[in-house]
Structure 1
C-alpha cells in the first residue's frame, strides 16, 4: 500500500494510531470522526494514500463512495438517522484539513443544529449557464 509517513490517516490505516473502525474492505477503511458534526459522523478513506479529490485514482474513488453509500444506508436503522450528508473537502479553500482523501458520512437528525458554512441561495441563471458551458468545454 502506498502510504505517506507523516499522514495521520495513513497511520490509522496502518494501525499505528487507534481509531474506531466501523467498516473496511480491500480498498477502504471507515472510522469514526473524532470531531463529529453529529452523532455517528464517520470518515471513509482509501487504504492507499491520495492527497485529495484531484489525486485519487478512479478505482479508489469509486470504492470510497461505494463504502460511503453502504455506511449511509445503515445509518437510519442503526442510528435512527433521518438523513445523511456525504461531504468531501478538496483543498484548504474548501475546508480540507487532513491531506489524505476522505469522505465524511454525516448522519442527520430532524431538528439537529448542524449548519454547514454554505447556505444555498438561488444563483444567477446566466452565470450558472456560463459556468456549465465552461465545464462542458
Structure 2
C-alpha cells in the first residue's frame, strides 16, 4: 500500500528518525516552528485501529524525541480519518 506519508518517507532530507514502528519527518507545510510528524508504519485510518504494540512504541518514541530535542513545551495533535 502506498500513501503520501510513505512517499515522504522515501525523501531522506525529510526523515529525522526511523524505526520498526514509526518514522519522524519534517512537515513540508509547517504550521509552527519545529512542526514534526511521527507517522506509524502500520496503515490504519484511525488511531484506535493501530495494534497495541505500535501505539505503545509510538508513545515511547514521542517521549524520547521530546527529550532528545530538548523541548520543554510542545503540543501533540492527532488526526483521524480523511
Bigger radius of gyration: 1
Unaligned 5+ runs, structure 2: none
In the other structure, the counterpart of 1:74 is 68
In the other structure, the counterpart of 1:87 is 77
CA contact (8 A) 1:10 1:49 kept: no
Indicate how the Cα distance of structure 1 residues 37 and 74 shifts in structure 2: closer, same or farther if over 3 A, else same.
Answer: farther
Q: Secondary structure at the match of 2:7?
A: helix
CA contact (8 A) 2:27 2:36 kept: yes
- Normalized against structure 1, the TM-score is what? 0.51
Q: Work out which of the residue numbers 3, 11, 35 in structure 1 matches 2:7.
A: 11
* Residues 1:61 and 2:51 are matched in the alignment: no
Unaligned 5+ runs, structure 1: 92-96, 98-137
- 4+ aligned runs moved over 4 Å, structure 1: none
Q: Distance in 1 between matches of 2:29 and 2:67?
A: 22
**How far off is 1:60 after superposition?**
0.9
Please give the root-mean-square deviation of Cα atoms over the aligned residues, in Å.
Answer: 1.9
Q: Distance in 2 between matches of 1:67 and 1:82?
A: 16
- Normalized against structure 2, the TM-score is what? 0.79
